[in-house]
Structure 1
Amino acid sequence: MGTSENSLRFTRIRVVATELIIETLSLCPSALRRGGYKMKPGTVTHTIAVLLSSISSLFAHSTPKKAEPAKVRASKKSDKLSEDILLNVNSLAFTPGHWSPPPPEAGERYPWKRNIVTTVFWIGEEPSANNPVPNRSSSWDKYWTRSYGGFDDPNRAHRSDYIPVKFTPRQNPVYCALPYNDKAATGHRPEAPQVVPWFREAYQGPAVSTCKGRWIAICKGNRTVYAQWEDAGPFRTDHWQYVFGNERPKPNLNKGAGLDVSPAVRDYLGLEETDVTNWKFVEFSEVPRGPWSKLGENNTFVISDRKAGKI
């Protein structure tokens, strides 16, 4: 089969796939409104994934240029959270056997992500041109500001010992955000059990994130800070290929930032508001004590010390 014929065939595939998506998304809601039938949550997106997979299988013997994944904007509502997300059709039709994480260095479970543009964010942050989403809530805590105890004022003049001077935070002030959320409206995202390295050992049921609270090491020069993962971002919540794989962060309004850090992280490392760092996941057993081990109901150190009767 010639190149031009291949191109024509796959152009038709893309057209058919697009039409199926549009038709499914437009017809199903109207049918639901009419009360003609009931659909379980996720049926629409599952149907789309199956249709696309079926179409692709008909032409599996051809070898066209790989097309960009189609994206459908959807709104998900959860008992705890409401957020707009981008559903990646490749994610919905994810095949675990087609992906494996990059190999870590000798003796390391997780590899370093190097030269990552890093920006500062804070609990209670208001939306701005480069930060369209307010940080009063997080991907995993609708009442994040309340849980923390207040506004994590980033003004250095209003901070002392890595915390705001007006109150003592009820959560770890050394926190960060990465552009992936393992939670869906109900349960977890379909790829999460395969791509989150610790998913099975950390699983506590469909309502609980396996990513929230995980520790990461962040390095700048000769200083390393340890922060807990407490939100999804910047900008994206679906980029598992970067967070757990070997892709680079996607372009965005903040110079392609792939890591958000709290004012405490900024101050410990001496970062600018936009800077470049290296980071990697670490096990709790690898985290030494420091400013990050002192405060917070969500802090693994505090929880462990209480269980041991140390505090």
Structure 2
Amino acid sequence: MTRSGRNGAPATMRLARIAAGVLLVGLTGAALTGCSLFKPCLGLAGCGGTVVTPTSTSAPGGGTSYPVHTDIVGTTFWVGEIFDPNADDGSQVLSTYDSNWLANYGGCDGTTAGGSCETEARSAANDYFPTEITPKENPFYLDLPFDDVNDPAAFARRDQVVPWAGQEPYASHSGDSNFSYMKNRWVALSYNGATCYAQIEDAGPGEYNDAEYVFGADDARPLNSRYGGAGMDVSPAVVGCLAFDELNGEQGGISWQFVDDSAVPPGPWTKVVTTSQVQ
């Protein structure tokens, strides 16, 4: 697996992830799986504070009420983008969860010109879908900086920090590095009075074990310092739906929170829902 653009995991990590994960869990046991409210930080990457599991309060529309993250910077990425051909984390042809992302998605999530996959403006007239292909997976996607399958430290503590880890189908896959707790989870994103929904299909940007930001209840800032300190990358459909200021840039002022499936309202984001697991 490669790091995809501003996100993902090194190519060698997919080949080694099962062995690494098993070794970490086997050597450390539950006591070394990372931060929690009552256990001290044990030196795992990105472990700079505490992670408080959200209480299971009722959310509008059903499901669990998760913490809201405010004033976050987001950048744009898209399936098929070549962010930096000279970097091992410079391509969205793959994602951290899908080694064949481009083909599984259905092609370039934008416009192809001169052999290059570029982003494009999206319109409500066609539900913010790409204009040159019919996507096989949800064009409303994003990443967050917690790679729970390829980053050994994140994998080792995911059962402790991911709020839904004890629910099915996740609980049955504890210790299974071929099953992601993050992939396909829904996120509500708001900007300038608009709210849209998207599914997690990659990890990043810049950091891959930032549980304190991703799951924390105290609105922590992302560890990532690159790309304007971005705490997420979002797809062109999300950019269009939220009416970002730029087609392909850094957008501040985003609020987001996890939402359960039951709390996702019908919309263009539910026309095609991604269900595939790690590949």
TM-score between the two structures when normalised by the length of structure 2: 0.69
| 1:23-70: CA deviation from partner (whole Å, max 9, x where unpaired) | xxxxxxxxxxxxxxxxxxxxxxxxxxxxxxxxxxxxxxxxxxxxxxxx
2:15 corresponds to 1:78: yes
Q: Which SS does the other structure have where 1:192 is aligned?
A: helix
Measured after TM superposition, the shift of residue 236 of structure 1 is 1.5
2:211 to 240, 243, 247: 240
Q: Name the CA shift for 1:100/1:288 in 2 (closer, same or farther; >3 Å).
A: same
Measured after TM superposition, the shift of residue 79 of structure 1 is 7.5
Aligned pairs (5 A) from 1:65-214: 75-78=12-15, 94=34, 96=36, 97-98=38-39, 99-101=50-52, 107-108=58-59, 109-128=65-84, 132-153=89-110, 154-156=119-121, 160-184=126-150, 189-201=155-167, 202-203=169-170, 204-205=172-173, 206=176, 207-214=178-185
Q: Name the CA shift for 1:182/1:282 in 2 (closer, same or farther; >3 Å).
A: same
Q: Which structure 2 residue ranges, 5 or more long, are not aligned?
A: 1-9, 19-23, 40-49, 60-64, 111-118
Q: Does the 8 A contact of 1:219 with 1:279 survive in 2?
A: yes
Cα distance in 2 between the residues matched to 1:167 and 1:114? 34
Measured after TM superposition, the shift of residue 298 of structure 1 is 2.6
Measured after TM superposition, the shift of residue 188 of structure 1 is 7.3
Rg larger in structure: 1
Q: Which structure 1 residue ranges, 5 or more long, are not aligned?
A: 1-72, 82-86, 300-311
Percent identical? 36
Q: Which SS does the other structure have where 1:255 is aligned?
A: coil
Cα distance in 1 between the residues matched to 2:197 and 2:13? 32
Q: Which SS does the other structure have where 1:219 is aligned?
A: strand
Q: Which SS does the other structure have where 1:189 is aligned?
A: helix
**More moved, 238-247 vs 211-220:** 238-247
**More moved, 90-99 vs 162-171:** 90-99
Measured after TM superposition, the shift of residue 128 of structure 1 is 3.2
The match for 2:3 is none
Cα distance in 1 between the residues matched to 2:138 and 2:105? 8
The match for 1:284 is 261
The Cα RMSD (Å) is: 3.5
Q: Which SS does the other structure have where 1:267 is aligned?
A: helix
Q: Name the CA shift for 1:227/1:244 in 2 (closer, same or farther; >3 Å).
A: same
| 1:162-189: CA deviation from partner (whole Å, max 9, x where unpaired) | 1222211000000000011111478971
| 1:231-256: CA deviation from partner (whole Å, max 9, x where unpaired) | 00111211111101142112422110
Higher helix share: 1
The match for 1:225 is 196
Aligned length: 220
Q: Which amino acid aligns with 2:76?
A: V
Q: Does the 8 A contact of 2:35 with 2:161 survive in 1?
A: no
Cα distance in 1 between the residues matched to 2:84 and 2:72? 22
